Amino acid sequence: MIKRTLYFGNPAYLKTANEQLVIEMHDSGEAKSTPIEDIGILILDHQQITITQALIAKLLANNTAVITCDHTHHPTGLLLNLDGNSLQSMKFQAQIEATLPLKKQLWQQTVALKIQNQAALLAIQREENKYLLNLASVVKSGDPDNNEAKAAAYYWKHLIPDFLQFRRERYGPPPNNLLNYGYAILRAIVARSLVISGLLPTLGIHHRNQYNAYCLADDIMEPYRPYVDQVVCQIIRGNGRFLEMTPNMKKALLGIPAMDVIIDEQKSPLMNAVQRTTASLAKCFEGKSRKILYPEL
């Protein structure tokens, strides 16, 4: 069953009773409830939301990822369960002891699938993609030739319409805002699934920034990024130059966890596919497999 993504963008009081999330709206006084076990991601996007400690504890015990947003409505914090798997200590040890050659091979698979999915999205957008397909086919262990960066330069140049004069920059002009929001949701999905699979989101196979608490999440989300890009392209087609975040745009981005993807030749909601990906990664660390299971766009 796919878990729900709940978004709160208005003043509210959130508490718990009888294993339910109870929502009391400040403006109307209306009260609603929903089972905590059905929630996969909870997004808090208003400075006047109050949430009880009891509810936070139950959400984390349910492996719900809780995202907080700042005053600009950009996701800025993520809460995750610290005890998400019954064999966590064993899986942590296998992850920590993973050899450098193994991590390089896993990164090779990750980069190749990311570039393949970027090429597929360009094809959907009716753009030339042979250069990316060639790059994907020659990615070496550890990607020493930095094919990921070469692919990115070509990809962004051809994916976003010329009239936007786009450059991919975290704090750049739109549609960077839409990409950032979608990637933040994707990052939370991946980090949540890593915890459920008994892995440490901090210890990456490639990313090593000492200030980044989610290096492994940033690694594993790479082949999934084109799915976010696809949603942003759809938003651009419907809005042209007018790309400051609106409720409808946010609604489209919040639908990312439920997007249909093809993984292992089967259709699956993206959130469920990510869980299969992280479970396969855990098997790689344990020596039970040599391949990460990723979706193909």
| Residue 83: per-residue pLDDT | 66
Give the CATH architecture of domain 4-79. Ribosomal Protein L15; Chain: K; domain 2 (3.100)
128 is in an annotated binding site: no
pTM: predicted TM-score of the whole model, two decimal places: 0.86
- Identify the band that residue 81 occupies on the pLDDT scale cut at 50, 70 and 90: confident
Give the CATH architecture of domain 88-285. Up-down Bundle (1.20)
Domain residue spans of the chain: 4-79, 88-285
Structure tokens at 246: 């609106």
CB atoms within 10 A of CB 158: 18
- Identify the band that residue 293 occupies on the pLDDT scale cut at 50, 70 and 90: very high
| Residue 186: per-residue pLDDT | 93
- CB-based contact 203:191 (threshold 8 Å): no
286 is in an annotated binding site: no
Measured distance CA(280)–CA(134) in Å, rounded: 26
Phi, psi values for residue 47, rounded to 5°: -75, -10
Q: Produce one character per residue of 197-220: b if its CB has 16 or more CB atoms within 10 Å, e if not.
A: bbbbbebbbbbeeeeeebbbbbbb
Query: Tens digits of per-residue pLDDT, 97-153?
Result: 889 999 999 999 999 999 999 999 999 999 999 999 999 999 999 999 999 999 999
- Identify the band that residue 86 occupies on the pLDDT scale cut at 50, 70 and 90: low
- Identify the band that residue 87 occupies on the pLDDT scale cut at 50, 70 and 90: low
The two domains 4-79 and 88-285 share their CATH topology (first three levels equal): no
Beta bridge partners of 44: 8, 68
Nearest Cα to Cα of residue 243 among 297, 173, 293: 173
Phi, psi values for residue 194, rounded to 5°: -60, -45
- Identify the band that residue 230 occupies on the pLDDT scale cut at 50, 70 and 90: very high
**Does residue 85 carry a pLDDT above 70?**
no
What's the mean pLDDT in 272-291?
93
What's the mean pLDDT in 65-91?
76
148 is in an annotated binding site: yes
Region for 273 from its dihedrals, namely left if φ exceeds 0, alpha if ψ lies in -120 to 50, beta otherwise? alpha
**Does residue 243 carry a pLDDT above 90?**
no
